[in-house]
Structure 1
Amino acid sequence: MITDPLFYLCAIPAVLLYGIAKGGFGGNIAILSVPLMSLVMPPQEAAAILLPILCTMDLVALRTFRGRWSLPNLRIIIPAALLGTLLAWWSFRWMSDGHIRLMVGVIAVVFTLNIWLRKREPPARGVSTLRGGFWGAVAGFTSFGIHAGGPPINIYLLPQKMEKTLLMGTIAVFFAVVNLAKVPAYIQLGQFDSGKLLTALVLLPLAPIGIRMGFWLLQRSNQELIYRLCYIFLFFTGCKLLFDGIRMLWF
């Protein structure tokens, strides 16, 4: 088990951030968790420690948002995400974290700039098998290595302008399935060991605390604010990933 105090100085806020995002407040802040823990350990190890905690958070989030999700969207994005997860599993040894960060960063920044620079607010989009299948697969792929599936799935879901609780509940179900699907792949790749699992167990009590904090904030914020925050966090996390990807690949 990890005993370095510096690790916990980074890991505790990382887990709480993920919990707040799972609870529905500013979902894209979750993507900061792995980079934060990566300040004190390799990103792959950080992702492995976080995965059991995320699976536990998913159970709490499902209970919190029970029944409040979009089935038409889930029928499209979940099978696509599972396909993306399988592809990421297969390409794990060839696709570096730098490539994934660069890809997600470019997508997130270009998407948000496109939304903000339009002269008129675009009308709400409906459910789409083509768009949902594409972005669901991308989210499954980018979620596998560094838990960075939030920006791609938000690119598909945010333009639909769903009611805020319905949006967050849909995201909660989506990642509950995706994270569970990653567990056997992580085991097969040797990502887990007793030290990582014990460390995850120590951090586990923070999971429901973070989710309840996020849900509390969600219920006390208006829908327009939630969507604005989602786009802002999507843009800045995209910038962060873009910077990290460039630094890892070329510097």
Structure 2
Amino acid sequence: MITDPWFYAAAIPAVLITAISKGGFGGGLGLLGVPMMALVIAPQQAAAILLPILCLMDLVGLWSFRGKGHRHSLKTLLPAAAIGIIFGALTFKYFSADHIRIIVGLIAVTFALNFWLKPKNREPKTPSRMRGSFWGAIAGFTSFGVHAGGAPLNAYLLPLKLAKYDYVGTTIIFFATVNFIKLVPYTLLGQFTYETLTTAATLAILAPIGVLLGVRLHHKISDVWFYQICYSFLFLMGIKLLFDAFF
């Protein structure tokens, strides 16, 4: 198990932020989890430690938002995400964490700025199999490398302007499925070691606490503020990823 106190100084807030985000805000700010932990350990090791914890968060989230979710979108997004995960596993040794950070960071910043700069009375977009398949595949690919699927997923979901319960329920179902699928290639690629698993077990107690806190905050925020917060998270995580990639 990792014993470096500086690691826990970064990992504890990273896990809590990720859990709160997944529990109430669509997982947007959770993308900061790996970059925060990567301040003190390798990004690949950070991703391996975080994945079992994410799976635990997903189980709590699935229970909290049971019966919610946009089925039409999930039927399009999930098969595409599986393809993205397979592509991520096959190209794992060719793409660095910085390559993925740049891709996701650009997507996040672009879509947040698009939301703020366009007229506010825009009609919700209708679900599209083509757009859903594209963004679902990108989300699966970027999620595989550094658990950074939130920005591509939001690029598809947020313009639909779903009710916040359905939006959060959709993200929880999507990432629960994606994260449990990722356990297989992570195991085959040797990402899970005794050190990563024992460290993950130590941090796991924070997962249900953070998710349930996120659920409580979710119920206290209006739809207008909810989407403002989601896009703000999207923008901040994009800037963070681009900064990490270039500096």
TMscore range, shorter length = over 0.9
Other-structure match for 2:161 = 161
Alignment size in residue pairs: 247
Question: Would you say the 8 A contact 2:112–2:234 is kept in 1?
Answer: yes
How large is the Cα RMSD of the aligned pairs?
1.0
Identity %: 52
Which consecutive unaligned segments of at least 5 residues does structure 1 have? Answer: none
Instruction: Give the whole-Å Cα distance in 1 for the aligned partners of 2:67 and 2:133.
Output: 23
List structure 1 runs of 4+ shifted beyond 6 angstroms. Answer: none
Provide Cα deviations, 1:174-224, integer angstroms capped at 9, x if missing partner. Answer: 000100111111111111111110111111111100000000000011111
Q: What is the letter of the counterpart of residue 198 of structure 2?
A: L
Which consecutive unaligned segments of at least 5 residues does structure 2 have? Answer: none
Instruction: State the 1:119 CA deviation.
Output: 3.7
Other-structure match for 2:74 = 74
- Equivalent residues in 2 for 1:1-251, closer than 5 Å: 1-25=1-25, 27-247=27-247
Instruction: State the 1:241 CA deviation.
Output: 1.1
Q: What is the letter of the counterpart of residue 76 of structure 1?
A: T
Instruction: State the 1:122 CA deviation.
Output: 2.1
Question: Would you say the 8 A contact 2:124–2:160 is kept in 1?
Answer: yes
Instruction: Give the whole-Å Cα distance in 1 for the aligned partners of 2:106 and 2:193.
Output: 33
Instruction: State the 1:25 CA deviation.
Output: 2.8
Q: What is the letter of the counterpart of residue 92 of structure 2?
A: F
Instruction: State the 1:26 CA deviation.
Output: 6.0
Instruction: State the 1:246 CA deviation.
Output: 2.2
Q: What is the letter of the counterpart of residue 79 of structure 2?
A: P
SS of structure 2 residue aligned to 1:27: coil
Greater CA drift, 133-142 or 232-241:
232-241
Greater CA drift, 191-200 or 105-114:
105-114
Q: What is the letter of the counterpart of residue 242 of structure 1?
A: L
Instruction: State the 1:106 CA deviation.
Output: 1.0
Instruction: Give the whole-Å Cα distance in 2 for the aligned partners of 1:39 and 1:99.
Output: 17
Instruction: Give the whole-Å Cα distance in 2 for the aligned partners of 1:21 and 1:119.
Output: 27
Instruction: Give the whole-Å Cα distance in 2 for the aligned partners of 1:120 and 1:172.
Output: 27
TM-score where L is the length of structure 1: 0.96
Instruction: Give the whole-Å Cα distance in 1 for the aligned partners of 2:148 and 2:37.
Output: 14
Question: Would you say the 8 A contact 1:140–1:149 is kept in 2?
Answer: yes
TM-score where L is the length of structure 2: 0.97
Instruction: State the 1:236 CA deviation.
Output: 1.3
Instruction: Give the whole-Å Cα distance in 1 for the aligned partners of 2:120 and 2:68.
Output: 30
Provide Cα deviations, 1:36-67, integer angstroms capped at 9, x if missing partner. Answer: 11111011100000000101111111111001
Instruction: State the 1:157 CA deviation.
Output: 0.3
Question: Would you say the 8 A contact 2:44–2:146 is kept in 1?
Answer: yes
Instruction: State the 1:120 CA deviation.
Output: 4.6
Provide Cα deviations, 1:68-93, integer angstroms capped at 9, x if missing partner. Answer: 11111100000000000000001101
